[in-house]
Copies of this chain bind each other. A is one copy, B any other.
Amino acid sequence: MIACDTCLIRNRAICSVLDDTEVAGLNRIGRRRKVRRGETVIWEGDDAPVVANVLTGMLKLTSVTGDGREQIVGVSFPSDFVGRPFGAGSGNSVTALTDAELCVFARSSFDAFARSHPALEHELLERTLAELDRAREWMLLLGRKSAGERVATFLLETSHRLGRQNCSTEATDPDRFDLPLSRRQTADILGLTIETVSRQIGRLREAGIFLPPVRRTTEILDRDLLRAEAEQG
């Protein structure tokens, strides 16, 4: 009996392409680690000696300028892979947005394991390509969209990603979701200030399109109008 047998994301993480024997091998070089909200797992510019699977919780990937301006360049959910395997040090920090649990590997061990398991590398490649797609879509948002469009796009994208995340058997309403992000974090995702995000959300609330957090739970009231706002708001 190894830890992976009881792993909640055994069938969704990169491990899903490995058979039981192979998973046992991977299990041998990994260990579980709990992190608290706000704790930074990997530091930007560091040699980034670890990579990990996200078991529970949410994490942010950030880049920061010399004088402290921060941009969130990615958000990781359970079953996502975080860290930078192969060669280069990490270009961004990884910090827990909520309490989280990780399955951590020393990078050197993981690199060696991956190199000898092509199926794992293929899965990693598919995920990296998907992440690159997402990053490039976000570049369009950061470079060319107005504050209103950004906030609307963010709400749609968040609803979509959290919907995929929810794995309960019963169908859940994609228009209602818990958003464990502060204004600062939302602003850091959208390349805006907290005040601008606040005003745009206020605008959507007044327009009856969106219902802001009541104890973290937020709701999209008019998805069609929100989509229109995302295109040109």
Footprint of B on A, CB under 8 Å?
61, 63-67, 69-71, 73-74, 84-88, 91-92, 115, 118, 121-122, 124-126, 128-133, 135-140, 142-145, 190-191, 231-232
Given A69-B144, A133-B88, A144-B71: A63 touches B125 (CB 8 Å cut-off) = no
Q: B129 near A67 (CB under 8 angstroms)? A: no
Give the contacting residue for A91; candidates B69, B133, B145; CB below 8 A: B133
Q: B140 near A71 (CB under 8 angstroms)? A: yes
Given A122-B115, A122-B121: A61 touches B91 (CB 8 Å cut-off) = no
Q: B126 near A124 (CB under 8 angstroms)? A: no
Residues of B within 8 A of A70 (CB): 144
Give Cα A71–Cα B146 distance, bound, in whole angstroms: 14
For residue A180, give the distance in angstroms from its CB to the closest CB of chain B.
Answer: 21
Give Cα A88–Cα B220 distance, bound, in whole angstroms: 28
Q: B232 near A145 (CB under 8 angstroms)? A: no
Residues of B within 8 A of A231 (CB): 65-67
The 3 closest A-B pairs by CB, nearest first: A143-B191, A118-B118, A142-B142
Q: B121 near A125 (CB under 8 angstroms)? A: yes
Give the contacting residue for A129; candidates B71, B88, B137; CB below 8 A: B88
Residues of B within 8 A of A91 (CB): 133, 136-137
For residue A226, give the distance in angstroms from its CB to the closest CB of chain B.
Answer: 15
Give Cα A54–Cα B78 distance, bound, in whole angstroms: 37
For residue A94, give the distance in angstroms from its CB to the closest CB of chain B.
Answer: 12
Interface centre among A63, A67, A74, A85 (most CB of B within 10 A): A63
Residues of B within 8 A of A88 (CB): 129-130, 133
Q: B128 near A84 (CB under 8 angstroms)? A: no
Residues of B within 8 A of A63 (CB): 136-137, 139-140
Given A139-B73, A144-B191, A231-B65: A132 touches B128 (CB 8 Å cut-off) = yes
Closest chain B residue to A136 by CB distance? B73
